Structure formats: C-alpha cells, structure tokens
Amino acid sequence: MAHLLASKSHQARVFMYSRPLASVGILLAAGLLLGFGGRSAAGMAQVSLLQAKADKQQAELEQVRRGAQQEVNAMAARLGELQAQANRLNALGERLTRVGQLQDGEFDFDKPVGVGGNDQTFDMEPKALNVGVTQLERQFAASGKQLSVLEALLFNRELDKNAMPSRMPIANSYITSGFGGRADPLGGGSQYHKGIDFEADVGDPVLSVADGVVSFAGVKSGYGNVVDVDHGNGYVTRYAHNSRLVVRVGDLVRVGQEIAKAGSTGRSTGAHVHFEVWENGRVVNPRKFLGEGPTPVGQVKRG
C-alpha cells in the first residue's frame, strides 16, 4: 500500500513539474518567433528603402546620360557644319589660287597645318569646348566673307582681262602690213592704214581677241565682210576682208572664239585679216594689245 502511494505521488510530481516546463517552452518558442518576425519585418523595410534609393540613383544616372548624349549630338551637328564650311573655304581658296594665278604650292589646301605644344595635357571642360567652337564658327564666317569679296574682285579682274584685246586674231601668222602711214597697195600714193594686216589663207579661222558682243556683222565699203566686236569697256575690235561670217549682231563671243573665215573681200590684194582696235571712238595702234607680242613684218610664224 505504501509502495503504491509512493508511486502515485512520484507520478503526480512528474506531472506537476512537466506542465510548467511545457508552458515555458511554448512561451520561449513564441518569443523567438515574435523576435524573428520583428527583425524580418525591419530587414525587409531596409531592403525596400535601399532598393528605392538604387532605383532613384539609376534614374538620375540615366537622365545624366541622356543629357550628355544630347550635348554630344549637338556638338556633332556643329562640327558637321564647321566641316562643311571648311570644305567650302577650301574649294573657294583653290578657285582663287587658279584665278589669281598663284604659284603652285604657295597655298596647299590639302596639306595639314603645322602646330606645336608641350607634353602636358589637361581635360577640357564642356563650357570651354563650346566657347572654342563658337569662336571657330565666327572665324570661318569672317574668312568666308573675306574670300567671297576677294573672289568677286578677282572675277571682275578676270572679266576685265578677258574683255581687253590681248591676242592675235589668227593663229600662227605674221604681220604683212603695219599701222599708220604706208604706200597704197592698190591705187599708189600714200595711205593711212588704220589697222594691222595678218597673213592668212582663205577659210582660216578668224578669232575674237577678247570677250564681247558682236555690234556689226556685214559689209562695209572697202572692208568687205566685216565683224565688229564691242568689248564693253570702251574698246571695239574690227576684223575685215573675211570670206564668210559665222556670227551675227548681238552674239556673245569669248576670247579665242571663231567669228569669221579669212578671205579677200572688199579692197584687198589677196587673202589676209585686217585687224583694227578702236578706243572710245578713236582708232589706235593694235600692236600694244597683241598678247603673243608684235610679230615683225614679214616674219613667218606658221608651223
């Protein structure tokens, strides 16, 4: 009996002791869960905050990148315009070199410009680069205006040069009769010869000695078939005794252009070209206008 009581008493103590231990374990487990859950929520909040900051920074970087790309595109466009201006100035310079008859190599527009400097280099600020490009644009604009003015001046000079009688009216010929007093080859006695005669065969090309407009094309007494060319600067040239005329009144002719065929019409002893120069309505000696130089009477130049 006593043994049985003792056994039951032990079981009761075990039971009584086991219930508080279980409660403590549950409370501890609950506390751990609550603690972990609290830390997990705080961690998630921090992660979300960091992610938001990273997204914001990424957006700012993207905005900066787009802005930088826009600046690069704008600079590329300006550089393209400068390149076009440089090409125009180079072409204009080459034309001026030809028109101005400058020596070869005096202005070589394809040759790089020699520059120097030291070994130290520094990063250039975008603002400084923009200022430099703007200054270059202004320099190009000023240079373009100056070259355009120079081109116009040289072009006018070239026009004036081409409008000035400056060559022989027939190629590879020689003078058979000079300007001024001479013996009349037909009627005898003395005669004032208003021009210079050049040896020619019938049908040889008669050439305009300068640019101009045909002011007369027809027959004149004593001259036969005649062409008069007005050069617009006070000078008029006359080509006489032609067998045939190839231009009409009002035609624009260029220096060296054929205007007639040589012949012996009018008061003439044989085929030749009679050439006169009139300056402001007064006949003058054509010798000073012969670009190939006055050929002495009787000196043959035919090849």
CATH of the domain at 239: 2.70.70.10
Does some domain include residue 151? Answer: yes
Does some domain include residue 113? Answer: no
Does some domain include residue 55? Answer: yes
* Containing structural domain, residue 201: 175-289
Residues 133, 259: one domain? no
Does some domain include residue 202? Answer: yes
According to DSSP, residue 287 is labeled: G
Query: Side chain identity at 290, as an amino acid letter?
Result: L
Per-residue pLDDT, 77: 75
Residues 208, 155: one domain? no
Residues 73, 156: one domain? yes
Does some domain include residue 230? Answer: yes
Number of domains in the chain: 2
Residues 250, 144: one domain? no
Does some domain include residue 67? Answer: yes
Residues 65, 192: one domain? no
Residues 75, 150: one domain? yes
Per-residue pLDDT, 185: 57
Per-residue pLDDT, 205: 97
Residues 238, 275: one domain? yes
Report the half-sphere exposure of 1 (CA within 13 A, side-chain side).
0
Per-residue pLDDT, 43: 72
Per-residue pLDDT, 38: 58
Distance CA 60, CA 65 (A): 9
- The string of DSSP letters for 80-133 reads HHHHHHHHHHHHHHHHHHHHTTPPTTSS-TTSPPP----S---PPPHHHHHHHH
Q: What is the pLDDT along the chain (303 residues), one digit of tens a residue?
A: 444 444 444 444 444 444 554 554 555 555 555 555 556 777 787 878 888 888 888 888 888 888 777 777 777 677 777 777 777 777 766 666 666 655 545 455 555 555 555 666 666 666 777 777 777 777 777 777 766 666 666 666 666 777 788 888 999 999 988 887 665 555 555 667 889 999 999 999 999 999 999 999 999 998 999 999 999 888 999 999 999 999 999 999 999 999 999 999 998 889 999 999 999 999 999 988 886 443 434 433 332
Per-residue pLDDT, 89: 72
Does some domain include residue 114? Answer: no
Residues 154, 76: one domain? yes
Residues 211, 144: one domain? no
Residues 151, 233: one domain? no
State whether the Cα torsion 276-278-282-288 is positive or negative.
negative
Task: State whether residue 144 is helix, strand or coil.
Answer: helix
Does some domain include residue 7? Answer: no
Distance CA 98, CA 109 (A): 13
Distance CA 178, CA 189 (A): 16
Residues 219, 136: one domain? no
Per-residue pLDDT, 78: 74
Residues 152, 93: one domain? yes
